[in-house]
Amino acid sequence: MSIDAAPHYRELEPRQRRRLLLLTTLRAAVTVTVLLVLYYTLPLDRPLDRLNALWFLTGFLAFAAAVAWQVYAIIRSPYPRLRAIEAFSVVVPVFLLMFAGTYYLMETDRPGSFTVPLTRTDALYFTVTVFVTVGFGDITATTAPSRILVTVQMVAGLALVGVVARMIVSAVQINLQRMTSGTPPKEP
């Protein structure tokens, strides 16, 4: 549905709004679930080598492409606020799971990189505690490579919160302003 063909969210019947919100919530939940299932089932038992480093770099590039696509989708969406919810349901889990997978690989390949051996769940837990800056201290990086990676996550997390979140919010605002002014979206 294009922006021009869709009624404004406030013009929808309450039932239609609830349905849209339910579908958005369902898509977000399914996205997170699929990403978690992939994280727990993908074979992450390969040695940490240049190929895995290439995969990590590819993951960052895929993450950047996903962010760009999400911003584009928000700008083109008839319901940009709802689309932003879906965007965050992709961007944040992909970011967290990418680091969790890397921490798990690092600990599997080089035991002792962290204060405790990491299971996938431990790696995800550690990633989230670093991301939200809680840092309980029960798991810490002990080697230079693991500390460098944690530092990269910290800086990237700041960029995610500061830059990516702002891009998504700005895309919502741009779309809402365009819809209010009646200006159709520009074709790429």
The conformational region for residue 50 under phi > 0 = left, psi -120 to 50 = alpha, else beta, is alpha
First to last CA, the chain: 17
pTM over 0.75: yes
Please tell me the least confidently modeled range out of 3-7, 62-66, 141-145, 167-171: 3-7
pLDDT in tens, 80-97: 988 998 898 888 998 999
In eight-state DSSP terms, residue 4 is T
Q: H helices then E strands: how many in the chain?
A: 6, 0
Q: Residue 188 pairs with which residues in a beta bridge?
A: none
**Burial of 126 (C-beta count, 10 Å sphere; 0-12/13-18/19+):** buried
pLDDT higher than threshold 90 for residue 126: yes
Backbone angles phi, psi at 38, to 5 degrees: -60, -45
What is the residue-wise DSSP string for 64-104?
Answer: HHHHHHHHHHHHH-SSHHHHHHHHHHHHHHHHHHHHHHHHH
Looking at residue 185, its pLDDT comes to 57
Looking at residue 6, its pLDDT comes to 65
Please tell me the least confidently modeled range out of 36-50, 87-101, 143-157: 36-50
Q: Once rounded to an integer, what is the mean pLDDT over residues 37-50?
A: 81
pLDDT higher than threshold 90 for residue 1: no
Q: Residue 141 pairs with which residues in a beta bridge?
A: 114
Looking at the chain, the whole-number percentage of residues with pLDDT higher than 70 is 90
